[in-house]
Structure 1
């Protein structure tokens, strides 16, 4: 394959030792970039004030170049905080009541995408393959095409894609659809997202489905498909096993004692269903008095986009709700909910997942939700916990061993908690193995390769992905095969 160019809103820049921030997506893309040689461009996360930055900061690590640009204060306000996170994010998560469309913010969104294109174009070679990530950068291909670039360009959306009735409430929906048509491959997390996209094309005669995964719109033909993102399954499983010796994990296990642990890990966001989840836990305790004092719910929720008013308000709401439940149900020697409002290292999270008898992943809407997959991968094969998963998370399309719940149904979710905690060991092991086998085969490397194969026109080789993560990890034994 030709050189790979990745573009995302933010870039996981390696530290001085050359180590990139942990995370399956960063790991997979870094491997792909190393294999083909490449460039990863995005926003530095810093502001240049009111003066437009004139240069890209470049860092070279091996055969990868990381290129970062600052944005002005106005750019950050209009492009990032404004249109991306106060229009596209809520609409794609079906929250029309929270979408605040403004012409100024819309103009800023397209302006910054044009700015990115002008910074990127001089770095692109004629045979480069470009892979653009997520909702912040939908118009980027159109801007690059306008500048004359004819490279293969792919786009992957990490969040849900809504149906036509939801998308079309956005005044600039046609410009967004037109922007997607300039890619050669448009990827979504699930078949439901792809169906919604096809429905948006048909609804107003914007385009047609040609068959074989091909679509036409605005005079262009492109491929659309679902590519469910995975995690580095085998590595994370080993990570979790080793984390049992971590001091924080050991102290947590000791403090829980004989109680059952229910664990939830979410970025603070209104799409995650955290308030509904706390209500369901309260209902579970009230309906099951025998569990009083015998179960602990740990909710880890790092702050998110606190500069956006809706998120600041939600932070107060969740903290107050957890405090109310603890005050009403707690005892001198028992705090029902442990609420942590800060980031925790991934190596510690892996160990905490393994302690959890129930993994509570109940978003109101989610593109995929990798916490669900990490929870499964972290489990002890001899005594696995139960994944309680929202049917509105993309992960629910493939994780058939989970207990699926409607997060809006408080009583139903509470009943599912009770069922999960009382589930027999053999059923837990069977459910876990079904999910783990799937995650080993469909890991993040497989996701990355499948997308790039379609983008470059390279067919999958017979048996190429047959091992998945199995070569490194056995779902049956939970140990490395080399052991």
Structure 2
């Protein structure tokens, strides 16, 4: 199988970490294609043999990066106010997709049945090249949301992306909502396709079908249990035991406007305003690094986050205590496991998030913690029964749920977390891969998904009290 992704091994991000573990656990014969610096690389098999395939012009790399992050990222997360379109960046996006696709195509062996597994929006146009130039079976997994709505001026650009991924034989999303959003978009704007909502399939003009499925990404439970056993508070040159005060509320994400960091900080301050007895008694640990340096919207958001955190600390500090401890250096899974195990509460506040693996990681590692989770995360659809839900990100709502979490009895906490663990374990990384990655049963058929998608979404649940 040929696996395509934007990032490769040992790079930040849930997609690359997931693919690394998938390849480690599957049979030989996997070729992982990814971008590294200004080049395309291929990693073959479990032996981690990596070769440089070709160099890509720096201008193309930069333009593709901007189109993905300045334009597609905000639109796909229903945050069009951050979108900036540049025609030359779009051209670079198209060119890079073509370059990657043709290099992979050139590696195909004559007479051999090839498979391609494309990951995410950065390579959304590649399935079209594979379908036009080969008989390869192509599947694609979309790791971020598909938007609920699209402004008229953005529709042609999204339609091009949708047409690209519809050249795959199977398309996967994390949730039923994203699947429904995509099918509704295709039904409304791509008139050369016919959508059958009950079966969640799309019919092409040539009579072939595209299957669209909802199956959230699972965790490698064995990996995280091992990290719990190897947990460590030492983060580079930082000893967390010297700066972490107990009890603490933990958040782990990037300084990205989709993550709701500003709203979270405002909610923390509202909590302090309404709970003066907690001043000096609870700390908020923010594991939050800068994201996408060099892009204006992200750089400004980072500065705004840090400025607000500093203002809150200055306003509410008491002696040697300050409410917010900000860690902005990369930390290892061993350190994360140490934090997950000891956090009283995990606070996850995205405005919009494809899944949010940290919520699942916390659920696996914690014994008696409480998970406060935004309803705008893909993970919420799986975990909603046993989390404290944020139906909105108003500061009062966040403050109320923090107060409620800290007051929960120990027995209730452990019962909730026990159920969360079972939920997370029921959809492991291996389960996701077998269902979406296309493992075959003894009859040579794809193992079917148990998740059904319908054009009318389920009524949403809000609070799980």
Q: Shared topology, TM-score over 0.5?
A: yes
Q: Are residues 317 and 135 of structure 1, via their aligned partners in 2, closer, same or farther at CA, if it must alter by over 3 Å?
A: same
Tell me how far 1:58 sits from its aligned partner: 5.0
- Aligned counterpart, 1:427: 412
Name the Cα RMSD after superposition: 2.6
| Residue number among 315, 331, 353 corresponding to 2:340 in the alignment | 353
Which residues of 2 match residues 378-457 of structure 1 at below 5 A? 378-380=365-367, 384-399=368-383, 400-453=385-438
* Range moving further from structure 2, 398-407 or 180-189: 398-407
| Matched-pair contact (CA < 8 Å) for 1:241–1:351 | no
- CA distance in structure 2 between the partners assigned to 1:235 and 1:57 by the alignment: 26
Q: TM-score, normalised by structure 2?
A: 0.88
- Aligned counterpart, 1:85: 69
| Matched-pair contact (CA < 8 Å) for 2:29–2:44 | no
- CA distance in structure 1 between the partners assigned to 2:155 and 2:203 by the alignment: 22
- CA distance in structure 2 between the partners assigned to 1:22 and 1:74 by the alignment: 24
- CA distance in structure 1 between the partners assigned to 2:379 and 2:328 by the alignment: 25
- 1:136 has 2:122 as partner: yes
- 1:187 has 2:181 as partner: no
| Residue number among 55, 58, 71 corresponding to 1:73 in the alignment | 58
Tell me how far 1:170 sits from its aligned partner: 4.1
* Range moving further from structure 2, 328-337 or 205-214: 205-214
- CA distance in structure 2 between the partners assigned to 1:212 and 1:349 by the alignment: 41
Deviations 1:167-225 (A, max 9, x none): 87243222112111100001101000000011111113353333433212454421100
Q: Per the alignment, in what secondary structure is the counterpart of residue 437 of structure 2?
A: helix
Q: Are residues 425 and 216 of structure 1, via their aligned partners in 2, closer, same or farther at CA, if it must alter by over 3 Å?
A: same
Which residues of 2 match residues 58-137 of structure 1 at below 5 A? 58=42, 60=44, 62=46, 66-68=50-52, 69-80=54-65, 82-125=66-109, 126-137=112-123
- CA distance in structure 1 between the partners assigned to 2:86 and 2:235 by the alignment: 46
| Residue number among 176, 180, 183 corresponding to 1:198 in the alignment | 183
Q: How many residues align?
A: 437
Tell me how far 1:71 sits from its aligned partner: 2.6
| Structure 1: segments with no counterpart, 5+ residues | 15-20, 48-52, 464-483
Q: TM-score, normalised by structure 1?
A: 0.84
| Matched-pair contact (CA < 8 Å) for 1:40–1:67 | no
Q: Per the alignment, in what secondary structure is the counterpart of residue 178 of structure 2?
A: helix
Q: Are residues 319 and 255 of structure 1, via their aligned partners in 2, closer, same or farther at CA, if it must alter by over 3 Å?
A: closer
- CA distance in structure 1 between the partners assigned to 2:439 and 2:43 by the alignment: 29
* Range moving further from structure 2, 165-174 or 213-222: 165-174
Q: Are residues 25 and 350 of structure 1, via their aligned partners in 2, closer, same or farther at CA, if it must alter by over 3 Å?
A: farther
- Aligned counterpart, 1:371: 358
- CA distance in structure 2 between the partners assigned to 1:60 and 1:24 by the alignment: 16
Q: Are residues 58 and 390 of structure 1, via their aligned partners in 2, closer, same or farther at CA, if it must alter by over 3 Å?
A: closer
- Aligned counterpart, 2:33: 41
| Residue number among 24, 27, 32 corresponding to 1:30 in the alignment | 24
Tell me how far 1:150 sits from its aligned partner: 1.0
